[in-house]
Amino acid sequence: MPETLRDAETIFRAGLTRVDPLAMMERVLTLTGDSLRVSTETECHVYDLSRYQRIFVLGMGKASARMALGLERVLGERITGGVVAVKEGYLETLSRIRLLQAAHPVPDARGVAAAQEVLALAREARQGDLVIVLVSGGGSAILAAPLEAPGRHLTLADKQATTRALLACGATIHEINCVRKKLSAVKGGRLAAAIAPADCLGLLLSDVVGDDLDVIASGPTVPDSTCAADALAVLDRYGVRDTIAPEALAVLMDVAAGRVPETPKAGDPVFAHTRTMLIGTNFQALLAARDKAASLGYATLILTSHLTGEAREMASLFLGMAKDIAEYAVPLPRPACVIAGGETTVTLRGPGKGGRNQEMALAFLAGLAGEARNAEEAVFLAASTDGSDGPTDATGAFASLPILRRGAALGLDVRAFLGANDAYHYFEAVGQLLKTGPTNTNVCDIKVLLVP
């Protein structure tokens, strides 16, 4: 691997290391006698564990197994029991907490069974118990509990069809989860309602731009800031009312009309004994990546942790920055490293295989194919922190002019692959997919642009 490509991967992996859920849990939690101190960068709370008869652990998301491992190391046999649901393959060895696997990003029957088990344990909790809920990205799909609505029969198949329609149309995670919350017995604060009146402590690892607590895994332990009218507006914005499952649309309309209860909102008594704390974010990963880049001798800039929009459009932004750095030393002199985080979207137009990061890297190559002047030495890496970019086994992909030339030598038309949304097969052919395997963490994506 050329040195600059190796540097890009090293910088990315430094960001990953900073948001290792096990290390974060051990930083955040301190047990002294019966006193559990929970301390983040912005708040600190102390729990007297002698007050509780039982301590249960619930969890959902790609990072939740490793979060659970950290919690077990701190609390040990004080944990009465628990259930954590993760994406298939995102495993750890746990002793006190039951670990379940389910599908992502489209839910499956295992996710329904996992949700039923989580809800059963939540409802078992009583006043005098403490329930610690470990929440991370992916939890919305992994824990799938169709809402039981009067006069309706919402099924897993309905939720699957609705999820596929929302993923394909280019909706943001905020918009997708707005719809999901109205169709779930767990999301949108409904898990907190099931736990009440027991005390509930939610510990969250953010995979959403802006770190909105009610969007992370669709906010199972926090008040829902959206209503059914917002969900219907999302469907209209993308023209998918007729694409989602008819029964799902009927439930949304029933909620909007008041025939089915809304998700609990701020001020609802179900949250009287619930506290939710954010323990890890994308920005923390970007800081660590920046520090690693500086140690390698690069002038560094964190562009943003709020990168959103169409993946291929954002690629042109990074290509333009590479050219400005090379020609004008703006915004940085060479050797330069620009780092960004966030989560872009892809509007599917073709039948290909890929993910938002692979799509962005391929669009970067397509831009180079159009005009490579002043970007001849640039290297771009777009990668997901969870180790899975879209429904693929790749974390992301590298882009550079030599990679584009390698593809051309193989007879690959970069624009044709981009038009088919087939980034995976392009980068597989040129040998430039990044594959980390499951990372057991999830804080959105990291983009690394190097101009040596």
Task: Specify the pairing of strand 433-434 against strand 396-400.
Answer: antiparallel
Question: Is residue 92 domain-shared with residue 225, that is, in the same domain?
Answer: yes
**Both structure tokens of 257:** 């009309």
Q: What is the C-alpha separation between 385 and 383, in angstroms, rounded? A: 7
Query: Is 5 domain-assigned?
Result: no
List pLDDT tens digits, range 34-78. Answer: 999 999 999 999 999 999 999 999 999 999 999 999 999 999 999
Among the candidates 281, 313, 345, a domain finishes at 281
12: in domain: no
Q: What pLDDT, on the 0 to 100 scale, is given for residue 110?
A: 98
If asked whether residues 167 and 229 sit together in one domain, one would say yes
pLDDT number for residue 373: 92
- Tell me the percentage of the chain whose pLDDT exceeds 90: 99
Residues 295 and 275 in one domain: no
Query: At which of 281, 299, 326 does a domain end?
Result: 281
Q: What is the pTM of this model?
A: 0.94
pLDDT at residue 1 tops 80: no
Q: Quick check: is 20 in a domain?
A: no
Q: In angstroms, what is the C-alpha Rg of the chain?
A: 22
**What is the average per-residue pLDDT within 335-364?**
97
pLDDT tens digits, 133-188: 999 999 999 999 999 999 999 999 999 999 999 999 989 999 999 999 999 999 99
Query: Per the domain annotation, does 294 fall within a domain?
Result: yes
CATH number at residue 122: 3.40.50.10180
Does one domain contain both 250 and 290?
A: no
pLDDT of residue 445 exceeding 80, the answer is yes
Pick the closest to residue 400 from 448, 437, 435 (CA basis): 448
User: What integer best gives the mean pLDDT of the chain?
Assistant: 97
pLDDT of residue 267: 97
Q: Report yes or no on 2 lying in a domain.
A: no
State residue 226's pLDDT score.
98
Instruction: Decide if 85 is inside a domain.
Output: yes
Query: Do 175 and 217 fall within a single domain?
Result: yes
List, for residues 83-117, the tens digit of each pLDDT value. Answer: 999 999 999 999 999 999 999 999 999 999 999 99
269 plus 289 within the same structural domain: no
CATH number of the domain at 376, please: 3.40.1480.10
Residue 14 lies in a domain: no
Q: How many domains does the chain have?
A: 2
Q: How confident is the model at residue 277 (pLDDT cuts 50, 70, 90)?
A: very high
159 and 144 share one domain: yes
Residue 397: left if φ>0, alpha if ψ -120 to 50, beta else—which one? beta
272 and 311 both lie in a single domain: no
Q: Which domain holds residue 350?
A: 283-451
On whether residue 23 sits in a domain, the answer given is no
* Residues 202 and 290 occupy one common structural domain: no
Of the candidate ranges 225-229, 268-272, 344-348, the one whose mean pLDDT is the lowest: 344-348
